Amino acid sequence: MWVVGIVVANLFFFRWASRIIRNAFPGTALGVYPRPSGWLYLLDLLLGLALVAYSEEVVFRRCASNVFQPYLGNDCTAVFATAVLFGCYHWWAGLGNMVAAAAHGILMMLFLRRCGVLWPVVLAHYLVDIVDFA
């Protein structure tokens, strides 16, 4: 249910919020995501996005939470800090994408705390990316 909820939240809330912020602050985006064509597009969708989802979840959910834990504990402050860090990682795509990524990061961190293992969080991230880039 969490995976479906995260994908639906991305479709109906995060995209909407990102679009509003991007239109309000159009000069904040420094680039766009590359869009390959042909067989590279399929390879990027299947393998590239899986690698991105896995690496981002390991870095921002596992590593960052372990680094912040001695300073922030294991409460809402740590969830918020890792989400802000995840949002800042997407700085080049503009303020709208940063806010959407931070909101996505909050849901993902809560999901990780709920399930206790990383693979469902990676799966949710992968499905969100597939929906966004397909």
Parse the chain into domains and list their residue ranges. 2-25+51-133
pLDDT of residue 73: 86
pLDDT of residue 84: 96
Question: Could you tell me the two tokens for 63?
Answer: 């590593």
Task: Give percent above pLDDT 70 in the chain.
Answer: 100
Which amino acid would we find at residue 26?
Answer: P
Q: Which residue has the higher pLDDT, 129 or 36?
A: 129
Question: Could you tell me the two tokens for 98?
Answer: 């940063």
Tell me if residue 35 falls in helix, strand or coil: coil
Residue 74 half-sphere exposure, CB side, CA atoms within 13 Å? 5
Could you tell me where the DSSP H helices lie in 11-94? 15-24, 39-43, 49-57, 64-72, 76-89
Tokens 């912040």 sit at which residue? 68
pTM over 0.85: yes
Q: What average pLDDT score do residues 60-80 get?
A: 91
pLDDT of residue 107: 94
Residue 29 to residues 42, 43, 94, 108, Cα–Cα distance (Å): 26, 26, 4, 24
Q: Is the dihedral of CA 66, 69, 71, 76 positive or negative?
A: positive
pLDDT tens per residue, range 4-24: 999 999 988 998 999 999 999
Tokens 């000069």 sit at which residue? 27
Residue 47 clears pLDDT 90, i.e. is over it:
yes
